Amino acid sequence: MDFADSLYGLSKKASARVTNIRTEEATKSALVMPFINTLGYNVFDPTEVVPEFTADIGERKGEKVDYAILKDEKPIMLFECKQCGSELTARSATQLQRYFHGVPEVKFGILTDGIRYLFFSDLDRTNVMDSKPFFVIDLMNLEDAAIEELKRFTKPTFDTKDILGTASELKYTREIQALLRSECSSPTKDFVRLLASRVYDRQFTKKAHERFTPIVKGAFLRFINERINETLETAKTLQGTAARKEQSASDAEQGTAPEPERASDRIITTAEELQGYYIVKGALSGSIDLERVVMRDLRSYCSILLDNTNRKPICRLHFNDTERKYLGLFDKGRDEDRIRITKLDEIFNYADRLKATIERYESSKSQLREAIPNTDTHNP
């Protein structure tokens, strides 16, 4: 199982547990410890993970941080945990800041409520924890880029210099993205003036500001939409080519002739379909080798198959309709049962049915093997 699949599996478990977690201790045992385990550190091995790690801070002796992650017997990360659902503010990080200063060899402090994990370092002043995190990951809203960044903190790949080399870029990228989101939804006067001055050679009066504010906002949104469409068009071309090759192979396998391609037949694999695919893999985590679970996007739906064969459909994602989404599940007769979903996370609710479908295919394969005579033995 790869790291992304493990993380999606943890996300599923966190979704199921979160409503029953009402204390800080429950947050630690149900959410934080599994998260640390997912990073590859054994929470039951005191040479790797130390709970209630002592950090002497000046005259204050015996200060304890919730968890310290060790490498070569030295702490490399500190975890400060809050009760699930707590607001993670600058005030919440005060205690972690003290611990961080008290353990000078540590370069990473993590503040968490079990769902959101805020990663801090000392990018501005050595041994003084920054007031803002350079990286944040949310188990309820996983993104591929964040998963790849989190992978740097796993036991097999952890390297302090490597992480710090990109931490500043991550920090400022996050802050600039936040500014751009804010300017996109509600452009400030300075931002409007900056852009308008490049195309408007008159005095920038209050009336000009009122005129250009909606223009700037509309242009910003259109620009973003155009970039999204360009990305989808590229993905469509790549996925369409791959899907046609797979479909041709499948048609040849089944003895059917492929349909001629038309311009309207081009296939777009959307971000939601990709996310749905990863959620399905997360739901199947631990029950099968996830390398066998393959996505094949077709014109009318996205098919998720076992062993990349049409004869073993696990489910279908009917996400082409922007108003309604359906998850297609299969019964024993391989008839499809379409279930409407409003959120992609609801796919986790049907994990048992997905696993049952896999079990039927595996059972059929075992029965077929038993039915085939053993040709290595010879009758006298």
Give domain limits for the chain.
Answer: 3-177, 190-249, 271-371
pLDDT band at residue 111 using 50, 70 and 90 as cut-offs: very high
Calculate the dihedral angle through the C-alpha atoms of 363, 365, 367, 373, rounding to the nearest 10 degrees: -160
Record the tokens describing residue 128, joined without a space: 């003084």
pLDDT of residue 28: 94
108 CB-near residues (< 8 Å, 6+ apart): 76, 77, 78, 119, 120, 121, 153, 160, 163
Tell me: pLDDT of 183 over 90: no
The 3-state DSSP class for residue 206 equals: helix
Confidence category of residue 271, pLDDT binned at 50, 70, 90? confident
Looking at residue 307, its pLDDT comes to 87
Ramachandran angles phi, psi of 81, nearest 5°: -105, 140
Minimum mean pLDDT range among 74-83, 129-138, 249-258, 312-321: 249-258
- Taking a C-beta distance cutoff of 8 angstroms, is the pair 139, 8 a contact? no
Q: What pLDDT does 376 receive?
A: 44
Q: Which of 147, 104, 145 is nearest to 3 (CA)?
A: 147
- Prediction pTM value: 0.55
Topology (CATH) of 3-177: tt1808, chain A (3.90.1570)
Query: For residue 160, what are the CA distances in angstroms to 76, 88, 201, 294, 319?
Result: 8, 25, 50, 35, 41
68-77, 176-185, 308-317: range with lowest mean pLDDT: 176-185
Sign of CA dihedral 354, 8, 293, 267: positive
The letter for the amino acid at 323 is E
Confidence bin at 317 (pLDDT 50/70/90):
very high
Amino acid at 237: T
Task: Return the pLDDT at 378.
Answer: 41
Q: Which helix (H) or strand (E) holds 270?
A: none
Q: What percent of the chain has pLDDT over 70?
A: 82
